[in-house]
Amino acid sequence: MQKTNKLFKLKIERPRNAKNDILSGLTVALALVPEAVAFSFVAKVDPVIGLYAAFMMGLITAIFGGRPGMISGATGAVAVIFAPLMLGLYGENVDTETATGYLFSAVILMGILQMLFGFFKLGKFIRLVPHPVMLGFVNGLAIIIFKSQFEMFYVGHGEEAHLLNPAALGIMGGMIALTMAISFFLPKLTKAVPATLMGIVTVTIISIVLKKFGIHESRNVLDFVQGMDPTKETIAAGFPTFAFPHMPLTWANIKMILPYSALAAAVGLIESLMTLTLVDEITETRGRGNKECIGQGLANLVNGFFGGMGGCAMIGQSMINIRGGGRGRTSGISAALFLLAILLFAAPLVEIIPLAALVGVMFMVVIGTFEWSSFRLVGSIPKMDLFIIVLVSVVTVLHDLAIAVLVGIVVSALGFAWQHGKKIHANIKTDEHGTKVYHLESALFFGSAQSFKDLFDPLNDPQDVVIDFENARVYDHSAIEAINNITERYADQGKSLHLLNLSPECLELMEKADNIIEVSVIEGLDWHIADDRLD
């Protein structure tokens, strides 16, 4: 029997059907509430604005986006970007209504930029992300999700926050463990209902029973909201309504919000496209990056006109959905509609859900998201790839997801250039005419330019020297400059350098740089010059 050895396997086997989509969507909706509230406070806006954003982002991207099963909503990455805008406006004593008007205008501009990105089909650049960067992104994201749950163990907000008392910590820890145990063991017994949803319901019932016996140490969603804003009595809200943002449409104001909009658009698309790629790998299907860009942009555009803070794809909620069996667009649509129903009708039911249940769900997401097989890669993959995995993970945790991905791509490119730059070599022969021929075998570009120059010996070489590019290519200006340098060194010795078998692309590059170097062809030798212009 043939044995298959795999370093890692991301795919999650779950059947795709409407029941799984709807039940998984309900689980996602329950988990969206505390996150949307928390991100609202990060962005310095009312929690209702974050909840509206979660509803509209989820609904519109589920319908028009390019990745069925992926969940979008109000996210910390976008909230962090818009927070300085709000703080600056409040610092200038701008009233809340006007300040949120500037925010909504920035979200509209963000959406327009994202839609343009999709219309010009730039989503394909996600293919430039190497797999080690992907693994580092996933691992770093799992750590961020894990760290983000720590605030649930504190009471209050900001400098006034303090750790729960020992009794409350013990009860919360037990409920978290029970939620995780149900999520882990229930699928082994039955898959009739999502295990995460059953875990939330079970722990909620236990919390209600404990409070009947006078044990009130288990905090719920409403306690969390009131811990950050004591004036909030409920998370209930009405249906979002259309309105133009309260911001004077002047060039000065557009210039003020443009940097925030551009950065939020970039971060939102990077996070969304990376999440799309991860869901692709898990489900072994393929999403449409450009369509997702348009869907994200449209969702943010609508957010700005209907009072939402904007957002992007959510890796944590997407993992909850995928692992709960949500595969189709119905899962995202149902999650958004359930969230709206919660805001309109069922807020009291959600407010009693213990935070411990939601923390347990997120801890299971962390365990499932982290690529544990990364530890087995030590010694099995190049050291540069291993370094990139660690680097991207660390930068993701310490700084930002988008910055981490960009750093990973740059380091990967530099590592690739360094490795290929060291490998350039040539087969060197002297023919019957006394001409020394260097048969170059590699790519000539900025990374290999110095190694290329070190191959030659103008002082001791014969009068005529040939560089044969049949098995090599010239790629950039650094390569042309290296050839020019070698030409000048041979000229200083009174010797001639000739180039043979340049590809059509190389010849075109040389012609554009004819003021730098002149291509010389040996005459009198029975060699074919690879120049399509002679055909």
Tokens read off for 222: 């409403």
Please choose, from the candidates 296, 310, 331, the residue with its C-alpha nearest in 3D space to the C-alpha of residue 257: 310
- Amino acid 526: pLDDT: 44
- Domains of the chain plus CATH, in order, are 18-164+219-350 (no CATH), 423-534 (3.30.750.24)
Tell me how far the alpha carbon of residue 144 is from its chain's centroid. 13
**CA distances, 79 to each of 29, 57, 168, 488 (Å):** 19, 14, 30, 57
| Average pLDDT for the chain | 82
d(CA 52, CA 309): 8
d(CA 375, CA 65): 34
Amino acid 534: pLDDT: 32
Q: What percent of the chain has pLDDT over 70?
A: 87
Bridge partner list, 474: 444
> Rounded mean pLDDT of 462-476?
84
Confidence of residue 149 (pLDDT cuts 50, 70, 90): confident
Say how far residue 369 (Cα) sits from the centre of its chain. Answer: 14
Vertex 140: Cα angle to 135 and 146 (nearest 5)? 130
**Mean pLDDT across the stretch 146-162?**
76
Range list of β-strands (E), 195-318: 312-313
Quote the CA–CA distance of 310 and 298 in Å, as a whole number.
Answer: 10
Which pLDDT does position 330 carry in this prediction?
93
Determine the pLDDT at residue 521: 43
> Which residue in the block uniquely carries the two structure tokens 């927070």?
83
Cα-Cα-Cα-Cα torsion 419, 485, 499, 513, nearest 10 degrees, comes to 100
**Cα–Cα distance, 484 to 428 (Å, whole number):** 20
User: Model confidence over 348-375: pLDDT tens digits?
Assistant: 888 888 888 888 887 887 887 787 877 8
Which three-class secondary structure state does DSSP give residue 57? helix
- The per-residue pLDDT for 277 is 85
Dump pLDDT digits (tens) for 389-444. Answer: 899 889 888 876 678 878 888 888 888 777 766 667 788 888 887 889 888 887 88
Distance in angstroms (rounded) separating the CA atoms of residues 153 and 359:
10
Q: What is the pLDDT of residue 7?
A: 41
Q: Is the pLDDT of residue 243 over 50?
A: yes
Rounded average pLDDT over 155-163 = 71
pLDDT at 535: 35
Whole-number pLDDT of residue 421? 63
Pick the more confident residue, 47 or 225: 47
Q: 52-87 pLDDT, tens per residue?
A: 999 999 999 999 999 999 999 998 778 878 888 988
- Write down the pTM of the prediction: 0.66
Residue 307 carries which side chain, given as an amino acid letter? G
